[in-house]
Amino acid sequence: MTKDYYNILGVAKNASAEEIRKIYYKLAHQHHPHKGGDEAKMKEINEAYSVLGNPEKRQQYDQYGATFEQARTQGGFGGFEGFRDFSDFAQAFRSGGNNNSSFSFEFGDLGDIFGDLFSGGGRTRTKTRQRQGADIQAEITIDFNEAIFGNQKTINFERHQLCQICGGKGAEPGSKVKTCQTCGGTGQVLKNIGFGLGFPSVCPDCQGEGKKPEKFCHHCRGKGVINQTENLTVKIPAGIDHGQAIRLEGKGHEAGKGSAAGDLYLKIRVRPDARFKRDSFNIITKAEISFTQAALGGKIEIDTVEGKVNLKIPEGTQSGKIFKLSGKGVPHLGGRGRGDQFIEIIVKTPTRLSKKQRELLRELED
C-alpha cells in the first residue's frame, strides 16, 4: 500500500514546490529528534519530502504511486539521510550563538554556507593547491641591551621534520603507491548534504593526494614527518622591541614530500631595565640632582646603554628640565640612524637641614 506523502506532510496535491518546502521545514523543526520529537515521525516526514521535494520524483509518484513505492524500497534511491548531516554542518559553520535550533536556517542560508566553504577562510586544501606545513609560534626573552644592539641566540623547539626513512613520502620503502579507491584518484569526495546536493571536500583517505602507499612507513606511520627537536641560531636584529616577532621562513612544521614548510614566528620579550625606558627608538631616563647642583650647575654622571657619560648641568636648572643626548638611543631596525636619549632632571629638595644650612637658605631667600 502506497503511503500518502501528501497526507504525511499535510499539503494539497496541487501544492507548489515552495509550499512543500516551507511545510517541510516547519515539520522538521517540530519533529526533530534532537528537540524531543518522534524519530519515526521524522523519518516518515523525510521520506515524504525526499519524494515530493524533488520535482522529478514527485511527478513519478503522482503518476505511478504504488509502482514507484516498490521501486523505492528496492533501492531506487537513497532516502534522505543527508539532511541530518546538513544540519550538523550548518551548525558547525555558525559562528557564535544563534545555534539554538539546528533547523532554524532557511534555504537562503545555503548560499552563505557555500560561500564560507569556497571562499575558503583558511587553508582549505585542494588537490591543485600545494600542501603547506603549519606555522609555529615560539617566544624568546632577551635583555634590554640585546634588543638595542642585537645578538645571536640559540633556541630549541619542536617541529615536524621529514621522516628519514621514507623521505617524507609516507610509504614504506619498496612498497608501491596506488590510486586511492575512495576518491578514485581525484583527491576529492562529494559530501552529501541532502536535497541531492553535495559539496567537494578533501578525501579523508588520501588527504587529497589521490594516491596512497600500499604500505605505510613504519617509522612515521605514513605521515611523512616526525616530531623532532631543533636547535636554531637566530640573529636578533639591533633595535627590535618587546612584542615584535621575527619570522623565520620555512622553519615551521614540514608536511611531507613536495610540501612547503610553514614558518616560525619568534616573539620577542624584552626584560625591563630599571634604568631605561624605551619609547620607540628613543630612550628615556631620569637623573636626580641636588638642590645646589641645580642652582650652581655642575657635572653629573649618567647611564646610557653604552655605559656612563658625563652630563653638564647649567646653572639654574629647573626640575623637569629635559636634556637630549643625540644618537644615544636605539638603532633603527634594519636601517641607518639611531634615536636619542632624553634625560629628565629631578631636583631633590633637601628634607633635613642643619641649623647652619637653614640659616644660609634664609639668607638666600632674602
318 labelled binding-site residue: no
Single-letter code of the amino acid located at 299: K
Smallest distance from Zn ion to CB 92, Å: 22
Q: Which is nearer to Zn ion, 61 or 216 (CB)?
A: 216
Residue 141 vs 181, nearer CB to Zn ion: 181
Tell me which of 205, 273, 303, 344 binds Zn ion, using CB under 5 A. 205
- Applying CB under 5 A, which of residues 27, 193, 203, 313 lies at the interface with Zn ion? 203
What residues from 144 to 163 belong to the interface with Zn ion (CB under 5 A)? 163
Please report how many Cα atoms fall inside a 13 Å half-sphere around the Cα of residue 121, on the Cβ side. 8
Helix, strand, coil share (%) of the chain residues, nearest 5: 30, 30, 45
Residue 8 CB, shortest distance to Zn ion, in Å, is 39
**Nearest approach, Cβ of 178 to Zn ion (angstroms)?**
11
Q: How many residues does the chain have?
A: 366
Q: Is 166 annotated as a binding residue?
A: yes
Our finding on whether 182 is near Zn ion (CB under 5 A) is yes
- DSSP state letters, 161-204: EE-TTTTTS-BPTT--EEE-TTTTTSSEEEEEEETTEEEEEE-T
The residue among 223 and 251 lying less far from Zn ion, judged by its C-beta, is 223
**Is position 189 annotated in a ligand binding site?**
no
- Residues 240-269, one symbol each (x = binds Zn ion by CB under 5 A, - = not), give ------------------------------
Q: Assign 311 to helix, strand or coil.
A: strand
Residue corresponding to grid cell 637566530: 234
Per-residue contact flags (x/-) with Zn ion for residues 206 to 235, judged by CB under 5 A: x----------x-xx---------------
Total residues binding Zn ion (CB under 5 A): 12
C-alpha to C-alpha distance for 287 and 30, rounded to whole angstroms: 76
Distances (CA, A) of 53 to 20, 27, 43, 254, 259: 7, 13, 15, 48, 45
CA distances from 246 to 192, 241, 312 (A): 44, 11, 40
Binding positions for Zn(2+):
163, 166, 180, 183, 203, 206, 217, 220
- What residues make contact with Zn ion under the rule CB under 5 A? 163, 165-166, 180, 182-183, 203, 205-206, 217, 219-220
